[in-house]
Amino acid sequence: MNFKSQKGMAMIPVLVIIFVASVLGVTVYAASGQELLNAQKDENKIQAYYFARSGVEIAIGLIMNGECDSMSEGDEKTYYGDLGGAFGEDETDNYTIKFIIGIDENDYIINSTGIVRTGVSGEAAQAQSSGLGFRINRQAIAAIADGGGGEGNIPLTLFADESLSLSGSPRISGNVATNAEAPGSVEFQYSCYLINGDLYIGPGANADEVVTFNGWHRGPDTNIPDGDILNLPSALNFPMPEFNSFPGDLENRGNIQTHHGNYVIGEQGTGGNDYNFGYYDSINIGGSSTVVIKLDGEDRIIRAGNLSITGNSNIVLEGDGKLYLYVENTFNLSGSSRVNYNGDPNSLVMFYQGADALNFSGNTRFSGNIFAQGADVNMTGSNNLTGNIITGGDDVSITGAADAFPRILYAPNADLAVTGSGEVQGVVVVNNCTVSGGSRDAIAAGSSLDTDFFDSLDWGENGPPSLLLNPQGQERTPDWRRIGSWTTP
């Protein structure tokens, strides 16, 4: 027997074991290193997020200290710095927080970025960054800076005089108020939420009786996560403005009936496809016709007995000025028709005297302000309305995929129903409110509060009611986090 051969054979398993152990060791080492790297990345990501959040808080502090008082719409200020240090508008090599403060109409817009760096100053690589955005009403934050809850006003998203009911999984974003004091007047079903705001109930109301939460482990902490249930210091009152009489000194123009082609309403004449301003027994805009209304820098008036806009028709307002549209009996907007689409809502004012409901259906678009004397308002389909809606009607419904961006939806006598995937953006004032359907911000504060049309109506000697909430007597100061809203920069 050759013992050298046997020794050689015995070495092979040993070498195999050593090789396998080495491979496993390298693999384990690499895996451990990757795990540590991933953990470090996660830690950096979290830290960058909190840097960004701190940037928003620092920006709010600067705004409240008056650093941005001289800014106007379109202006921006950019600040750089790090926690524990000073912030300035000069960029440095090693800043960890950068935030931009801008103004969009009536809101401050903050975009903040947090950065975690590795290496040394001047040579550092950006390891991780995170961005946050925040929007807050300029008037609201000024009220906080001037003394807060006992003295200042805060934005109101929804006022429902007698009751509020939420079912399904919708959300309301912003401050909500009601004069309700009766047991069960405010109801949250399961996954319904009030976010970014407080709930104010009647002055003498008991929150445990008035507000009910149906569902397993549901209550204020789960369904009103960002705010509290508070009492109004006094009941709120929202009257209707006076509905003025229609102009009667207009020349009778007959009727308008369009099907296809282009038409013009202006002062140049009434021949061919041209029409003039004045009174029309009926206006029927249909087919694929386009009607251009020439304002020519003036305020113009059209009065119609009945107005129907259907099909794929389009009404365009051309030039500076404003169109006052008076409709006596019926109004219908359907199909895929457009009225002042993408135009300034303040360039169109419609006064509606009819008893029949205002119907917006199909895939329509309407940009303008509406004051209805006593009509209900129905929005169905996937239509979109941008502007203010004032009505003395009893019912307002927004169903299907309809979107209402009214800025102000003022219907103090009406029951509002928002169902399906319908959405409302702006300040809402109604008698009773029912919200149901899928998960979405069914009612939310709009990006701006334009009260020009609202204030221009005839409110009598007391003037227009305030659309801001003044919770005098409350000891707490409103939190800017509840008044504003977080956004994606």
Tell me the residue type at 485: S
Determine the average pLDDT of the residues in 366-370. 96
Could you tell me if residue 158 is inside a domain?
A: no
pLDDT over 80 at 397, yes or no: yes
Q: Which of 6-10, 377-381, 459-463 is the least confident region? A: 6-10
Structural domain span for residue 19: 15-142
pLDDT over 80 at 144, yes or no: no
Determine the average pLDDT of the residues in 60-69. 89
Determine the average pLDDT of the residues in 408-414. 96
Q: How many domains does the chain have?
A: 1
Determine the average pLDDT of the residues in 218-243. 92
pLDDT tens-digit readout, 150-194? 445 678 899 999 999 999 889 999 999 999 999 999 999 888 999
pTM of the model: 0.68
pLDDT tens-digit readout, 262-273? 999 987 655 556
pLDDT the model gives residue 149: 41
Could you tell me if residue 352 is inside a domain?
A: no
pLDDT over 90 at 324, yes or no: yes
Could you tell me if residue 285 is inside a domain?
A: no
Could you tell me if residue 51 is inside a domain?
A: yes
pLDDT the model gives residue 237: 92
Could you tell me if residue 262 is inside a domain?
A: no
**Model confidence band, residue 31 (pLDDT cutoffs 50, 70, 90):** low
Could you tell me if residue 34 is inside a domain?
A: yes
Could you tell me if residue 263 is inside a domain?
A: no
Determine the average pLDDT of the residues in 295-314. 95
Determine the average pLDDT of the residues in 337-356. 95
Tokens of 80: 């750089």
Cα(376)–Cα(393) distance, integer angstroms: 5
Tokens of 279: 């009174």
Q: Tell me the average pLDDT of the chain.
A: 85
Could you tell me if residue 444 is inside a domain?
A: no
